[in-house]
Structures are given as C-alpha cells and as structure tokens.
Amino acid sequence: MANKKNSKNAKGAGTIRKRSDGRWEARYSLGFDPKTGKQVQKSVYGVSQKEVRQKLAKITAEIDDGCYMEPAKESVAEWLKVWLKTYVKPSVKPYTLNSYEGVCNRFLIPDIGRIKLSELSALQIQQMYNSLLTDHGLSAKTVKNVHGILHRALHQAVKLGMIRSNPSDMCDLPKARRKEFKPLEQDDIAVFLKAIHGDPFEHLFQVTLFTGLRQGEVLGLTWDCVDFEHHALYINKQLQKTDKVGGEYVLVPTKNSRSRVVTVADSVMQILKEEKRLQEHRREIAGVAWRNPWDLVFTNEFGGHLCHFSVYHHFKDVVRGIGLGETRFHDLRHSYAVVAIESGDDIKTVQSNLGHATASFTLDVYGHVSQKMRQQSADRMERFIQTLAVPASS
C-alpha cells in the first residue's frame, strides 16, 4: 500500500507519492475517455521525489503545449522484429533481408534490445557502436552498416509516432577507409587471359573483364538480354543466394534496382556467340538431363546455374597460379573501369556501364587511379605548347 503521508500535489497538475517498494510515482491525467467517460491517468516513476517531479513537470508542459506523445511500450527488440517483418521483408531482396536480420540478431538485440524504445538514448547507442569497434573487433564500415539499419528502424518509429525523434541522429560514426582495390595492369591482363585459355569459365571471366558486370549480374545474364544485332547487353537482374549457408538461388533486380544497357565491343559479342554454340553442344550431350529454366548464358554441363562460391574459388586458383593471389573476382570489374577511363571514356559513360547511381560516386572511386592518365594529360599540353612555337625568352 502506498505511503500516503508522503503524497503531495505536484506543482501544476498530477500527484506524487512514494510507493511501498521504495520508488516514487507521479500520476497525471490525459483527459477523459470519450467511450467510458472515465479519467485517463498515466504514471511515471523514479528513485527520488525530485526525479519524478521533473518528469511530471516536463510531461504536463508538453500536454499544455499540445505536443505530448505517450511513450511507446515496446522494447527495441520487439520493435525491430515488427519492423523487419512489416517494413523490410516486403521491400528488399532476400539476401538483404537476411543481412538485416543478422545485424539485428547478432548486435542490436543482444546489446540494446531490452531497452524500452521510448527510453533509448543517443548515449546508449554510441556506447554500443564503440563496443562493436573495440570489444567485437568490427571494422568501421561494418559499424556504419549497423548504424544504417538501426537508423532506418528508428526513423520508421518516428514516422509512426512511436518516438518523437531518432536518437541515432546524434551519434558519431567511425571513419571508414575505402578498401584498396588492385586492378590488373595491362601486362597482368595479358597473362590472365593466357592462363584462362581453354578454362571451363574462360568466357565468363572474359565477359566480366570486358564489360565490368558484377558477379551476380554476369551469372544472372540470360539470352533474352543479349542483343547480338545492336551489340548490347540489357542488365536488369542478378543471380543471388537467399542465405550464405543453405539458401536457394534466385533471380532478383540489380543492386540498385535499376536496369541499364551496356554497349559492348565486337569481341565480347563473338565470345558470347561462341558460348552459345558451346551451350547448344552441351545441351545435346545432356539430352533429357538438361535443365535451364531461366535460359542463363553461363551454366554448368546440365544447364543449371553456376554457384558464386565455386566461380570465385576457381578464379582464385587461376590468379594464384600466375602470381596474383591478392586479386579478387571483383577486381575484374575495377580493371574494366580503369581501362575504360584510360582509353578515353568519359566518367558519365563509365558510370552508366558500371551501373553506379551517380557519376560523382564513379569519380570518387576511380578519379585518382591512373598516374598514366595524368602524364598523358601533361604530354598533350606539351605538344600543344610546342605547336604555338613560342619564342624562347632572351
């Protein structure tokens, strides 16, 4: 039973009392329920009379100003689960959903999941980010990814009126360093092409190197998107696995869900024609065992899709064999971009071919890569100066 002798009127509105469990409670009114006519009362709690008086004063001021928002009852963990199911699952690719769920279950829920959504503070979030860096050993980029997911979830809670503001807005994020990429030099490309001659994945590696497609895009390329007449590839999907372990492969939209047309070199079209001829030969050999329901360009001997893992490891075996063991499959894409820029393609064209969202992003990634280009620029200026036949100063 409450200790009534410690009860006193709060300044302005509401009452404050000390409970039998030792905590202090302040009760305030939100008016009357239109259905029952009864007064609607809420409570806030604290360890001291001063604490609950301050909370009560803040709440009553918000009520008077018409900006009061009833605190959300859900915990952060409960809200994240609802958010994933209701707002994320219907709008993202399966692999992205799996990634979001992984971040929530591995990092967010264990650390801040028990906290009431309405009580989550910027300080608590910042302490979590710091712990992910120092205690868990996550990279700055991964912490930024964790922040991005939490920020989206809290932003949705703000839109729904569950919380007044997004506490993650006030957090400081670590600076992420862009991973250094190592495009193949011209001599390396020649050695690589020689090494893959006759390889089962020769055409796949060549098309990737000469078009800059992402791995999922080249593995998800279908024959209806190869325009032999106009020497063009229509990139509108990618082959993706729904989960790293045990997931199934599906065709989904491209990384930024934007389709693009890539006009390719004559040699690339010849490579694709040869691949089509080889595929028809494999189909004849496989007979009734042939299964290529998606009409993929690159398949196994029975028409099935290729696996990212198998292609990547086969590629690594090749590059290790020629002394380029640090080269990643994605570096074929970087190599294409650098060669295109060095050959004189403008940034806007390279951006379009690569499928980047903006030309500024392409510039940010590739604008600094070539000392050769800078020297060529200086050489062109020198040739121009020489044509002016400027007399030497006396």
Domain boundaries, given as residue ranges, for the chain: 3-65, 76-170, 186-374
Please report the pLDDT score of residue 283 as a whole number. Answer: 96
Q: Which residues, including other chains, have CB under 8 Å from residue 190's CB and lie 6 or more apart?
A: none
Location of structure tokens 């590839």 = 233
- CATH 1.10.150.130 for domain 76-170: yes
pLDDT over 70 at 3, yes or no:
no
Please report the pLDDT score of residue 288 as a whole number. Answer: 95
CA-CA-CA-CA torsion sign (113, 118, 123, 125): positive
Greater confidence (367 vs 153) lies with: 153
Please report the pLDDT score of residue 19 as a whole number. Answer: 87
Location of structure tokens 């039998």 = 20
pLDDT per residue as tens digits for the range 123-148 = 999 999 999 999 998 999 999 999 99
The pLDDT-based confidence of 347 (bands split at 50, 70, 90) is confident
User: Quick one: how far is CA 136 from the chain centroid?
Assistant: 21
Tokens representing 277?
Answer: 């001829």
User: Distance (Å, rounded) from C-alpha 48 to C-alpha 244?
Assistant: 51
Please report the pLDDT score of residue 389 as a whole number. Answer: 64
* Torsion angle, alpha carbons of 108, 110, 112, 118, to 10: 90
Please report the pLDDT score of residue 52 as a whole number. Answer: 85
CATH class of 186-374: mainly alpha
pLDDT over 70 at 311, yes or no:
yes
Contact call for residues 373 and 253 (beta carbons, < 8 A): no
The pLDDT-based confidence of 382 (bands split at 50, 70, 90) is confident
Please state the rounded mean pLDDT for residues 3-18. 54
The pLDDT-based confidence of 94 (bands split at 50, 70, 90) is confident
Contact call for residues 296 and 225 (beta carbons, < 8 A): no
